Structure 1
Amino acid sequence: MTEGYVNQLEPAGLIAAFAMHPPEGFDVRIAENGLPLFTTQFDLLTTVDPALRQRLARWPGYPGWRKWLTLETCFIGATTSEYACLPRQQDPAALLHWIETHCGDRHPLTIIKDLPVASPLLSADDNDYSRRLIDAAEARGYISVEGQALAVVPIDFTSTDEFLARMSRSRRRNLRRKLRSRDALRVEVIPCGDDRLANAGWRAQLYQFYLSVWQQSEVHFDLLSAGFFDHLLLDKHSAGKLFCYWHGERLVGFNLCYQYQGRLVDKYIGFDYSLALKFNLYFVSWFVNLEYAIEQGLQEYVAGWTDPEVKASLGASFTFTRHLVRVRNPIIRGAVRYFRHYLESDNKWAGSPPT
């Protein structure tokens, strides 16, 4: 796997691991042109607001027509990259032709996922490529759907005290109270591939912590495997950093980040919830990551897609994506066009974060 995708924010090894250890129910491959893609049974209501899903369940005939909303879908991209990583050698028109020939004509639904829209994290050339691809796809009848909000903190401060000073007094006081929990924790940053991670039992514990977080999530899509995590944790060439939080000799939680191209990219977390909530680990880890980014002279902390409301309160700004959807069945295509705005759950985070 070589570096050099359009829209790449993390080491290409994460895409290689995704192909080698697919999530449950995914058929993943890297095409001959370098394009990552996967097929799976996809529920169109996956990202719909839970309240809307409950209302739909009360519609007449729901058990009968509900099954028609789960379709075999070909996704262009990978769930292990922040953006759709695309081969540089193909112009947008040629790429769309390839996708339609190899995916769109074979599957009821094709989705080019997580295309950046004027991302501050990318070069002008990469943003221009995505803009041209979106324009060309819409001209060919693809449905453009707004994606999730990617949280970003530019490291334009020299300390977390300076960062906190930008917030309101009440917010600052609330966070300082939560951050007192850090005094009871020991923080350790372990590079992936370290000898300690050769312990299979410890890797299994880390995976169980990941499962705890996945199981309590509102959206269940890609269940990553233990083999996938083993691959990442044992890869000493990946620039992965495992942030571990200990209370005495007991592991409270972790997050796995990648230091890549001047950024800290936060990828995966795992908690022992019986302790993580007690020690406000979500908030503590946020500030530990910011401190690490400052110490390393990094430009941004890329904090992922989930929990935008909480991340906004922690000072994140947001950049958006678009998904390009090609539906083969004209009836379902009309339904997706009509309901597409109900799938755009994160658009309220486009503005400045609250204080």
Structure 2
Amino acid sequence: MLEGRILDSLAAIPPADWDACFGDPLEGHAYHLAIETAALKGFTFFYVAVYDHARLVGAAPAFLTQYDLATTIDNLHLGRAIKQVQNLIPGFLRVRLAALGSPCTEHVMLGVSEPGRTYAIVDCLLRTFEAGAKARGGRLLAIKDLSDEAPKEWAACIEDLGYGFVTGLPSSELRIDFESTDAYLSRLTPGTRRDMRRKLRSREHLRCEDVTSLRAYAPRVMALYEDTLARADMTLEELSFDYFESVLSLMPNQAICRLYFHGETLLAVNLLLHDQNTLLDKYFLMAPEGRAYNLYFVSWFDNVALCLERGLRRFQTGQAAYANKLRLGVDLIGTRMAFKHKNGLLSFGLRLIAPLVSADLSPEALRNE
């Protein structure tokens, strides 16, 4: 018989048991414990576990935060109008959000150790999550970033429990099915190929260093993060320095932190995770001066070279900068956000405005992003 439980710390679940539910994921127990340890401002984390007697058969991370629905509206004029209303009514379109997933992962993680019982385990996960979320004051319930590649039973169960869906930002990845950077370049358009070769000449002006701790550079790292955050169109989480240090200390065999210098000036920080198959570009922090050295593209080709060196077949590249990434040959993987409100009438209303907060995934929008 399945039993759902809510846990306030991931330390209550043995790492091997948690990771077994996800097939030993790249963003596994150690990564989520690092997020918890970092104590991100404005977030409360909890965990949903499903047991069959004493055996863990299902698991998922979850969080609570105050959420501004206006941040997801692409329409500029509508967004401004809503901000004006919020100046008069501070609580307008701001709700206590409880979400299944993590603010620091691209896809929701619903761990199921027995695929033959997926629907039943996910159903128990969701019902347990809803009870725990409501007990903690969550009013808007969400499943964050359900990948189009997720098992079909996930979406079916979510829909059966009355959730609506909005289109989310796609994730992107580059398949490493070539044997050299020259072979990769040959796949790009002639114009892009010429542009990349020109940009990569900036590499000779830069020094690259891999580190296992950022303590010596803490003020500069956070200044780079603030610069990067200010350029972002939208963001859910605001990271702390402890996030970066926790990831590096708790994932010593999977985390890489690469620093880019011009002379003695730190211009960029690239936090990467890897396993035996995938390189995941978690965060790229760059000073505005880094553009003069084409650092985004230099780091991209350094990461492609790292994949080739280690035999990794997949380079996972995030949910932003689509125009550049499409030029560089990535594939896009769609995501959806599932939602419902504790108040049935408001839940119905949110379904009506869902098209306004869905991401614009037209080729023109992504290439101009």
Amino acid at match of 2:29: A
Q: 2:144 aligns with which of 89, 108, 113?
A: 113
Amino acid at match of 1:158: E
How far apart are 1:25 and its partner, in Å?
A: 0.7
Distance in 2, matches of 1:5 and 1:109, equals 27
Structure 1 window deviating more from structure 2 (304-313 vs 203-212): it is 203-212
Counting only pairs closer than 5 Å after superposition, residues 34-113 of structure 1 correspond to structure 2 as 34-49=59-74, 51-54=76-79, 56-57=81-82, 63-64=87-88, 67-88=91-112, 91-104=121-134, 106-113=137-144
Q: Does 1:330 align with 2:344?
A: yes
Structure 1 window deviating more from structure 2 (4-13 vs 212-221): it is 4-13
How far apart are 1:72 and its partner, in Å?
A: 0.4
| Contact 1:42/1:71, CA 8 A, preserved across alignment | yes
Q: 2:158 aligns with which of 137, 143, 166?
A: 137
TM-score calculated relative to the size of structure 2: 0.82
| Equivalent position SS for 1:347 | coil
**Partner in structure 2 of residue 28 of structure 1:** 45
How far apart are 1:14 and its partner, in Å?
A: 1.6
Amino acid at match of 2:62: L
Q: 1:267 aligns with which of 282, 305, 309?
A: 282
How far apart are 1:52 and its partner, in Å?
A: 4.7
Distance in 1, matches of 2:191 and 2:223, equals 36
Distance in 1, matches of 2:31 and 2:292, equals 32
**Partner in structure 1 of residue 54 of structure 2:** none
Amino acid at match of 1:85: M
Q: Does 1:305 align with 2:319?
A: yes
Q: 2:258 aligns with which of 238, 243, 249?
A: 243
TM-score calculated relative to the size of structure 1: 0.85
**Partner in structure 1 of residue 242 of structure 2:** 227
Structure 1 residues 36 and 55: CA distance shift in structure 2, 3 A:
same
Amino acid at match of 1:262: N
Distance in 1, matches of 2:358 and 2:26, equals 23
Structure 1 residues 243 and 94: CA distance shift in structure 2, 3 A:
same
Amino acid at match of 1:308: Y
| Equivalent position SS for 2:260 | strand
| Equivalent position SS for 2:27 | coil
Distance in 2, matches of 1:219 and 1:352, equals 15
Distance in 1, matches of 2:167 and 2:224, equals 31
| Contact 1:319/1:350, CA 8 A, preserved across alignment | no
Structure 1 window deviating more from structure 2 (43-52 vs 6-15): it is 6-15
Distance in 1, matches of 2:87 and 2:262, equals 48
Residue by residue, what CA displacement relative to the aligned partner does 1:65-94 show, whole Å, maximum 9, x if unpaired?
A: 673210001011112223212232561221
| Equivalent position SS for 1:136 | helix
Residue by residue, what CA displacement relative to the aligned partner does 1:164-206 show, whole Å, maximum 9, x if unpaired?
A: 222222222222222221121122333x3xxxx2x63324432
**Partner in structure 1 of residue 11 of structure 2:** none
Residue by residue, what CA displacement relative to the aligned partner does 1:214-241 show, whole Å, maximum 9, x if unpaired?
A: 1221213201111222212333534101
Runs of 4+ in 1 over 6 A off after TM superposition: 350-354
Amino acid at match of 1:44: L
**Partner in structure 1 of residue 329 of structure 2:** 315
Distance in 2, matches of 1:325 and 1:88, equals 21
How far apart are 1:341 and its partner, in Å?
A: 2.2
| Equivalent position SS for 2:70 | coil
Distance in 2, matches of 1:174 and 1:232, equals 35
| Contact 1:23/1:223, CA 8 A, preserved across alignment | yes
Gaps of 5+ in 1: 119-126
Distance in 2, matches of 1:148 and 1:325, equals 15
Counting only pairs closer than 5 Å after superposition, residues 182-197 of structure 1 correspond to structure 2 as 182-190=203-211, 192=212, 197=213
Q: Does 1:180 align with 2:201?
A: yes
**Partner in structure 1 of residue 56 of structure 2:** none
**Partner in structure 2 of residue 15 of structure 1:** 32
Residue by residue, what CA displacement relative to the aligned partner does 1:123-177 show, whole Å, maximum 9, x if unpaired?
A: xxxx32xx21211221221011222111100001112222122222222222222
Distance in 1, matches of 2:256 and 2:68, equals 34
**Partner in structure 1 of residue 5 of structure 2:** none
| Contact 1:152/1:302, CA 8 A, preserved across alignment | yes
Distance in 2, matches of 1:284 and 1:235, equals 28
